[in-house]
């Protein structure tokens, strides 16, 4: 094997990789923010006293969790225009990732909801809070705190999945890496650096999340 490492070609385009990383993070943040709303709604629906709501939430979760994200992305970008809804590549990717993360977050929040002690809810009801008030100011904060570690893990997962945006030519990290790879043929260097950037970003996010968990002690 005559291949000697030359990282210079990759460092020359390092700013592109960094901007790609920023785009990936941005996509993940927006998608998980929307996904959190979807997940909260669907988690409350999944423990609701109405059968129809519970089945709807279960259908959403099993439908989306069992589909490859790439299929959702391609549907949103290429197939949706056929119905008259045209989204650009960023919107369609964020939409698909939000829908996808919402299904995973439903499970996360559901586990959080179940972990809220019954006595706390009874106490809130007995001091005269309505059902809605109880949910908003008592159940939701405890549930969010208990769900924080899994929420963080889901966010890291979705950040990694933002790489799939490369399939519809969103210029994020994987897309830029593939371009450098094809332009320079510095194959080993390119993928080592790209993978290193992903790992570094994941480690930093994980550390920030651990810090957040320490600031808000568990209920």
Partner 1 sequence: MQVFLDQLWIARFALWDGFLLTVQIAAASILFGTLLGGIVGIQLSYAPWWLKLPFRLYVDIMRGTPVLVLILAAFYIPSVAGLSLGPTQAGILALSLFAGAHIGELLRGSLQAIPPGQAEAGRSIGLTFPQLLAYVLLPQAARSALPPWINTGVELIKGSSLLSMIGVGELLLKTQEIIGRNFMTIQFYVFAGILYLAINIVLDQLGKAVERRVGQH
Q: Site residues (CB under 8 A) for partner 1?
A: 1, 3, 62-63, 65-71, 74-75, 78-79, 82-83, 160-164, 166-167, 174, 177-178, 181, 185, 187-188, 191, 194-195, 198-199, 202-203
**Least distance (Å) between residue 185 CB and partner 1:** 8
Rounded Cα gap, residues 146 and 163, in angstroms: 29
Cβ-based nearer residue to partner 1, 66 or 126: 66
**Least distance (Å) between residue 72 CB and partner 1:** 8
Cβ-based nearer residue to partner 1, 115 or 195: 195
Helix count and strand count (H, E) for the chain: 10, 0
* Planar angle of CA 29, 172, 159, nearest 5 degrees: 35
DSSP-derived letter for residue 50 is -
**Least distance (Å) between residue 19 CB and partner 1:** 17
SS3 call for 6: coil
Cβ-based nearer residue to partner 1, 146 or 162: 162
**Least distance (Å) between residue 156 CB and partner 1:** 9
Helix axis angle, 89-114 to 51-65, nearest 10°: 130
SS3 call for 47: coil
């Amino acid at each position: 094997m005559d291949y000697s490492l030359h990282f210079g070609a990759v460092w020359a385009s390092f700013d592109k990789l960094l901007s790609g990383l920023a785009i990936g993070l941005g996509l993940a943040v927006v998608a998980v923010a929307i996904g959190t709303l979807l997940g909260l709604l669907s988690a409350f629906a999944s423990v609701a006293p109405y059968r129809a709501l519970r089945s709807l939430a279960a259908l959403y979760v099993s439908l989306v969790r069992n589909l490859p994200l790439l299929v959702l992305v391609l549907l949103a970008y290429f197939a949706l225009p056929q119905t008259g809804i045209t989204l650009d590549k960023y919107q369609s990717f964020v939409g698909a990732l939000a829908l996808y993360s919402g299904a995973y977050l439903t499970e996360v929040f559901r586990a959080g909801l179940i972990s809220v002690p019954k006595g706390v809810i009874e106490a809130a009801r007995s001091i005269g809070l309505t059902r809605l008030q109880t949910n908003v100011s008592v159940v939701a904060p405890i549930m969010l705190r208990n769900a924080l570690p899994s929420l963080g893990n889901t966010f890291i997962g979705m950040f990694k999945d933002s790489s799939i945006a490369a399939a519809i030519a969103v210029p994020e990290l994987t897309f830029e890496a593939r371009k450098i790879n094809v332009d320079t043929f510095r194959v080993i260097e390119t993928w080592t650096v790209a993978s290193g950037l992903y790992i570094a970003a994941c480690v930093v996010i994980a550390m920030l999340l651990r810090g957040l968990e320490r600031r808000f002690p568990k209920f």
